Amino acid sequence: MSAGKRNATATIIDVADRAGVSIKTVSRVINDEPSVREKTRDKVLAAVKALGYQRNVFARGLRADRSLVLGLLYENPQGDYPADVLHGALAYCRLHGYHLVVEVLRGRNMGEQTTRFLSQTRLDGVLMTPPVCDNPAVLKACASFGVPYVRISPRKPKKGEQYIAIDDFAAAKEVTEYLMSLGHRRIGLIKGIPGHAATIMRLAGYRAALEKAGIKYDEDLVFRGDFHFESGASGAEQFLGLKDPATAIFAGNDETAAGALAYAHEKGVAVPGKLSVCGFDGGTVSKVVWPRLTTVLQPTRLLGETAVSILINAGTAPRASTPIILPHKLIIGLSTAPLRA
Amino acid sequence: MSAGKRNATATIIDVADRAGVSIKTVSRVINDEPSVREKTRDKVLAAVKALGYQRNVFARGLRADRSLVLGLLYENPQGDYPADVLHGALAYCRLHGYHLVVEVLRGRNMGEQTTRFLSQTRLDGVLMTPPVCDNPAVLKACASFGVPYVRISPRKPKKGEQYIAIDDFAAAKEVTEYLMSLGHRRIGLIKGIPGHAATIMRLAGYRAALEKAGIKYDEDLVFRGDFHFESGASGAEQFLGLKDPATAIFAGNDETAAGALAYAHEKGVAVPGKLSVCGFDGGTVSKVVWPRLTTVLQPTRLLGETAVSILINAGTAPRASTPIILPHKLIIGLSTAPLRA
DNA sequence: TTGTAGAAAGACAAGGTTGTCATAAATCAA
DNA sequence: TTGATTTATGACAACCTTGTCTTTCTACAA
């Protein structure tokens, strides 16, 4: 605790006095502007160091209309995904002198929430994860404030927009093909929340893999989940109760897979002996369950880092309008095994 | 993306012009100061609304030396704990017009990192979780900036300091007593990272419970863990390999418990049939493993909320110097069962 | 009516920085 | 050396609020 008046920090004027130059020259040195003699620069830097001078962010922000602060918007605060994005973003921010303020958007009026958020903090940019990044009101709010944003895994990328994503389609196809390579033909898919880009693309990848292998798409083997544990158990229940039951389950994410796993344990169905289970995400959940999950490792931290790098370099770098697709990786765990006849 | 100039927002001058009053009067209305006629207030508010005026945070911060921004410092970005604290804090912040900027401190020079952080962002307060909150350099840095802070579960509370914590001692005692009530006498304890307040207090609670029950403290039944999955497996290995093996394991946290669980599954030791396992935290991990863990639910979000409330009310409320101990709760899962002879 | 107290409103400065423009110094060519 | 050109530096305004102090208005008592 210990309240108390903020320490009087040295101002640019103090530095100028001590260095025997004008404040403008100090400003030039601090901002790495040209037209400063080396000798002068040294004098100023010495004074800065001696006084422990730190630029006042408010004054700077007021004058320059730049805050050096970015925002991170997301909806669901649970799980590793948002936290990892946050920490990736944070790491890159720190490296470049930026800071990050986070905001969780909830409920119906996300547009208003965004407006309030943006008007209260003058952010230099915003990054957002699904499903917030697919909310038109949120995007509109950003646009109306003229705040640049980068979307992570958006559902419908706008033309010319630079966004970041992984190839959910390819990843899901890989998983499905991997399961088929183990001999599985009856593969149950537990979908994620309807409408999510990930849900849609992963379903498409799953279907593409089946089709390529000449396996007929069976609606009984698709369960409408919600990325949560319980839906994994429900999905497993459906798939295992079929006349021709599934021998493998591809869950929408790790948590769902954990649910399926738990149901199997409950019913005495051996994993991976009688049932193979795959997850998606590669976070903590996939590592703490038993048996350790076969899953797709998303480069979640990297998503955050890259998003921030785009925002920060938006001004300088020539704006490439290509999406950045980051690599995923199929992690073979202990929850999948060859089908036994 | 869509870079571009920030939208020209209305200033206080515009509002004053439109309302036909001076800027100072507008300022008074905005800040809910007295001495404004109701009629005038209405005029001003109408103008504010019409123009969509939003106070410029930089100008305000520059003049008032208050940022309405709080900081959250922590070290280990993994797991539910920091994320939950963050979201609790965030919720309270939003309710009171504050924002939250997060910073992860890593490595040796946390003091310097804190100094840099504080000088770059003019925070109105800082909250921190263990083990950052026990780092003297960090505390010193905060003090030298005159930034008030609240520590969550500090190891050695300073006299008169208002901090927040749960009663780790009592919680650990409860867990141990619960296990003993099931008939267990050989209870292995997997400790957390040495030096952490939680580690120390939980060990003490464990010992106190044993002592009270007249059970001799056995060093073979204490394993030095680190709050991670692997140490759970190692601990279980040690305990189950004893001549007189443990029949129950009390892990330092849920992740460690998951490790113990996995080891047991691996070796075919039935849980809870042959071995009971308890965790600590009550987060996602405890719910996704099978069987669902018996654990201690920490009010993690509430810790964050309460910490922020203390910071925000520090100026106004009469500063109570009592620590705030938030309630924990023993959650009986499916990973514990009576000892079978 | 006059005087007075208190409430309401305003004028002005200050806060620390950066942008614009002007000036001083250094460099170079003739 | 002189004049022209480039480079380095400085003076000053502007950014948008809020704090201090002053002025105006209102209400009420004498």
Q: What is the pLDDT of residue A198?
A: 94
A211: nearest Cα among A244, A169, A246, A259: A169
Question: How deeply is A237 buried, as exposed, middle or buried, from its count of CB atoms within 10 A (0-12, 13-18, 19+)?
Answer: middle
**Residue B293, CB, strand D, below 7 Å:** no
A296's enclosing H/E stretch is strand A295-297
Residue A232 has a CB neighbour count (10 Å cut-off) of 32
Q: How far apart are the C-alpha atoms of A187 and A176, rounded to whole Å?
A: 8
Query: pLDDT tens digits for chain B (341 residues)?
Result: 333 344 557 899 999 999 999 999 999 999 888 889 999 999 999 999 999 888 888 999 888 878 889 999 999 888 889 999 999 999 999 888 889 999 999 999 999 999 889 888 889 999 999 999 999 999 999 988 888 999 999 998 888 888 999 999 999 999 999 999 999 999 999 999 998 999 999 999 999 999 999 999 999 999 999 999 999 999 999 999 999 999 999 999 999 999 999 999 999 999 999 999 999 999 999 999 999 999 999 999 999 999 999 998 875 555 566 889 999 999 999 999 999 86
Residues B290, A261: C-beta atoms closer than 8 Å: yes
Looking at the partner chain, which of A87, A99, A119 has a beta carbon nearest the beta carbon of B77? A87
pLDDT for A11-28, tens place per residue? 999 999 999 999 999 999
Q: Which of residues 293-322 of A touch B (CB under 8 A)?
A: 310, 314-315, 319
- Residues of chain B in contact with residue A319, where contact means CB-CB under 8 angstroms, are 1, 3
Instruction: Kindly report the nearest CA distance between residue B289 and chain A, in angstroms.
Output: 5
Q: What angle do CA B78, B80, B86 make, to 5 degrees?
A: 95
| Distance in Å, residue A62 CA to nucleotide C14 C1' | 15
pLDDT at B3: 32
The residue that minimises its CA distance to C1' of C9 is B25
Inform me whether the C-beta atom of residue A98 falls under 8 Å from chain B C-beta atoms. no
Helix, strand, or coil here: B313?
Answer: helix
Give the mean pLDDT per block of 10 residues along chain A (341 residues).
Answer: 50 92 93 90 93 89 87 90 94 89 93 89 92 95 90 90 94 98 98 94 97 97 96 98 97 97 97 97 96 97 95 67 91 96 66
The token pair that represents A264 in the structure block: 């199997």
Closest residue to A59, CB basis, from B1, B62, B285: B62
Task: Assess whether A40 (CB) lies less than 7 A from strand C.
Answer: no
pTM: 0.88
Interface of B with A in 211-240 (CB under 8 A): 229
pLDDT at residue A8, rounded to an integer: 57
User: Residue B11's closest CA among B64, B55, B62?
Assistant: B55
Per DSSP bridges, beta strands B329-331 and B295-297 are antiparallel
C1’ D9 / CA B142, Å: 38
Element (H, E) at B64: helix B57-64
- pLDDT attached to residue A276: 98
Cβ <8 Å between A59 and B58: yes
Residue A6 has a pLDDT of 47
Closest Cα in chain B to A53: B119
Chain A interface, best mutation among B158, B265, B284, B311, by max A CB count within 10 A: B284
Chain B residues inside the 8 Å CB shell of A122: 6, 56-58
- pLDDT at position A1 is 34
> What confidence score (pLDDT) does residue B10 get?
87
Judged by DSSP in three states, B53 sits in coil
Q: Are A144 and A301 in contact (CB under 8 A)?
A: no
d(CA B66, CA A267) in angstroms, rounded, equals: 59
CB contact (8 A) between residue A6 and residue B266: no
Model pLDDT, residue B316: 56
* Contact between B6 and A87 using a beta-carbon 8 Å cutoff: no
Question: B95 Cβ partners below 8 Å, 6+ apart?
Answer: none
Gap from B4 CA to D15 C1', in Å?
A: 19
Burial class, B195, CB count within 10 angstroms (exposed 0-12 / middle 13-18 / buried 19+):
exposed
Q: What Rg, from alpha-carbon coordinates, does chain A have?
A: 26
D26 C1' – B26 CA distance, angstroms? 21
Lookup: nucleotide whose C1' is closest to A63 CA: D15
CA distance readout (Å), A189 to A116, A213, A239, A252, A276: 40, 16, 9, 7, 12
What pLDDT shows up at residue A2?
Answer: 32
* pLDDT tens track for A42-89: 999 999 999 988 888 899 988 887 888 999 999 988 888 999 999 999
B261–A4 CB contact, under 8 Å: no
Residues of chain A in contact with residue B107, where contact means CB-CB under 8 angstroms, are: none
Which nucleotide has the least CA–C1' distance to B63? C15
